[in-house]
Each structure stands twice: as structure tokens, then as C-alpha cells.
């Protein structure tokens, strides 16, 4: 079954803790993305990676970090510097061919992070 797997589905973080959200894809896509979704708002881009060992900040990268050591994996760490981390986090991937207008994005099922 091809797709994007996010784990865990639910995650609880104590104040001052770092937590890592997992995202794995077997679609052989070059590009991967992390978005944050808050109620009543559109998805906002945190980080994206066009290729292994390379990633760029999105619109709201402060308090987050990522790595891209393998094509299939793009984990997101929510650090203690992120002051309001409670949200729904979505990982996505796309074939990512620059300049091609048929670049469709596919999403995982999300991780809901709650600060306790």
C-alpha cells in the first residue's frame, strides 16, 4: 500500500519538553512538507524539503526543527521554544519536479499534539 504514514496519531507534551513527530512515505517522492493546522485557519507551512539532506524554512519555522537523512523520512521536532504547540500537524509529499504544474500533493492522516 503506497502512502504517507504519520505517527503517533495523538501526542502529549509537557512544558519544556521536545517531542518528535514521525513521517514516512513510500511513494518515492522527492519533496516532503510539514504543515500546522489550527481551528478556523488554513494550513501553514512549517518546513519543506526538496531533496535528501536539504530543507528550507516555511512561514512558521520558529520553535521547530527537521532532518532529511533518508528520502522516505522527514521527522519534525517541536522544541520547547515553540510557545503554542497545541495543533494538528500534517505531513505531505509530492513528486516535486520543479516547474511542472502537475505536481500533486498527498497528505498523511495527521498527528494531534496537545500540551499538558
Partner 1 sequence: KQEVTQIPAALSVPEGENLVLNCSFTDSAIYNLQWFRQDPGKGLTSLLLIQSSQREQTSGRLNASLDKSSGRSTLYIAASQPGDSATYLCAVGLGYKLSFGAGTTVTVRA
Site string for partner 1, 8-37 (x = CB under 8 A): -----------------------x-x-x--
Task: Kindly state the smallest distance separating residue 94's Cβ from partner 1, in Å.
Answer: 7
Candidates 6, 23, 78, 85; binder of partner 1 (CB under 8 A) is 6
Cα 61 from Cα 83, distance rounded (Å): 12
Cis peptide before 2 (omega within 30 of 0): no
Site string for partner 1, 60-99 (x = CB under 8 A): ------------------------------x-x-x-x-xx
CB 107 within 8 A of CB 5: no
The yes or no reply on residue 108 touching partner 1 (CB under 8 A) is: yes
H helical segments located in 25-88: none
Q: Which three cell numbers stand for residue 6?
A: 504519520
**Interface with partner 1: number of residues (CB under 8 A):** 32
Characterize the bridge pairing of strands 64-66 and 19-25.
Answer: unpaired
Amino acid at each position: 500500500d503506497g502512502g504517507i504514514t504519520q505517527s503517533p496519531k495523538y501526542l502529549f507534551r509537557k512544558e519544556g519538553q521536545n517531542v518528535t513527530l514521525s513521517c514516512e512515505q513510500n511513494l518515492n517522492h522527492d519533496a516532503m512538507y510539514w504543515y500546522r493546522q489550527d481551528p478556523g485557519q488554513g494550513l501553514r507551512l512549517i518546513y519543506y524539503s526538496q531533496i535528501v539532506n536539504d530543507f528550507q524554512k516555511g512561514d512558521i519555522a520558529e520553535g521547530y526543527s527537521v532532518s532529511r537523512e533518508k528520502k522516505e523520512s522527514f521527522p519534525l521536532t517541536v522544541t520547547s521554544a515553540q510557545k503554542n504547540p497545541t495543533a494538528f500537524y500534517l505531513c505531505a509529499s509530492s513528486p516535486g519536479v520543479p516547474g511542472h504544474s502537475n505536481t500533486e500533493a498527498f497528505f498523511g492522516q495527521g498527528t494531534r499534539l496537545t500540551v499538558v
